[in-house]
Amino acid sequence: MPLACDAADPESLKAAYAAAKAVAGPIEALLFAAATWTPETEQAVALAPVRHVFEVNFFGCLAAIEAVTPDMMVAGRGRIAVISSVAGFRGLPRALAYGSSKAAMTHMAETLRLQLWRHGIIVQVVHPGFVRTPLTDKNDFPMPFLMEPDQAAARIVAGLQSDRFEITFPAGSRCC
């Protein structure tokens, strides 16, 4: 059941969840995959674009989690997975907003994993490398091990079928 919503608008996320819940009942799993990135220059630091990336990537994720966790806690089970990025592991040129937002998402997932397991909720974080998407189409630099979306999706699905916390690919990306 596709539902349109704006990841940067918490009320839009809550409304989408309410609409889904009205049709299907409380959801048992959330995969937050919304993200944005704006190419940055190396000459300037600007708050507005960083704030926008955080509104979508981090605060949007937190708002989606806020919408679903009460029902998951009542049910005593659930699964929350967030798509972070290997870009959150280390500082990268022209990735102040994106990398920082993804690092924040990973930290959030680590914290929620510790807080929500007592309620039967599994929390996972996905750290993909470069995947061909409209976001990576903006890149004007080499993207090692660039994956097609169906390959990345298969890795994500395989990881979500386990209870392991971290799903990172391609192999060796964690140590970059």
Q: How far apart are the C-alpha atoms of 161 and 138, rounded to whole Å?
A: 32
Q: Exactly one of 14, 17, 21, 102 is catalytic; which is it? A: 102
CA distance 106 to 101: 9
Pairwise pLDDT comparison (87 vs 135), residue with the higher score: 87
Please, which pLDDT band fits residue 128 given cuts at 50, 70 and 90? very high
**How does residue 113 score in pLDDT terms, banded at 50, 70 and 90?**
very high
- Asked whether the beta carbons of 123 and 84 are under 8 A apart, the reply is no
**Where along the chain do its domains lie?**
27-175
19-46: average pLDDT:
87
Chain position carrying tokens 């990135």: 37
pLDDT at residue number 175: 47
Q: Which of 14, 21, 98, 138 is catalytic?
A: 98
- Backbone torsions φ then ψ of 167, nearest 5 degrees: -120, 105
Tokens 């209870």 sit on residue? 163
pLDDT over 60 (residue 176):
no
- Of residues 133 and 62, more confidence is placed in 62
Inform me whether the pLDDT recorded for 137 exceeds 50: yes
When pLDDT is averaged across residues 81-93 and rounded to a whole number, the result is 91
pLDDT over 70 for what percent of the chain? Answer: 97
In the residue annotation, 138 being an active-site residue is answered as no
Mean pLDDT calculated for residue range 61-88: 96
Could you tell me the two tokens for 161? 């079928």
**How far, in Å, CA of 13 to CA of 26, rounded?**
14
94-110 pLDDT per residue, tens: 789 999 999 999 999 99
Locate tokens 């990735």: which residue? 95
Strands 121-128 and 29-32: unpaired
At which residue do the structure tokens 């510790």 appear?
Answer: 114
The CATH homologous superfamily for domain 27-175 is NAD(P)-binding Rossmann-like Domain (3.40.50.720)
Can 102 be counted among the known catalytic residues? yes
Q: Rounded CA gap, 24 and 48, in Å?
A: 38
Say yes or no to pLDDT of 13 above 80.
Answer: yes
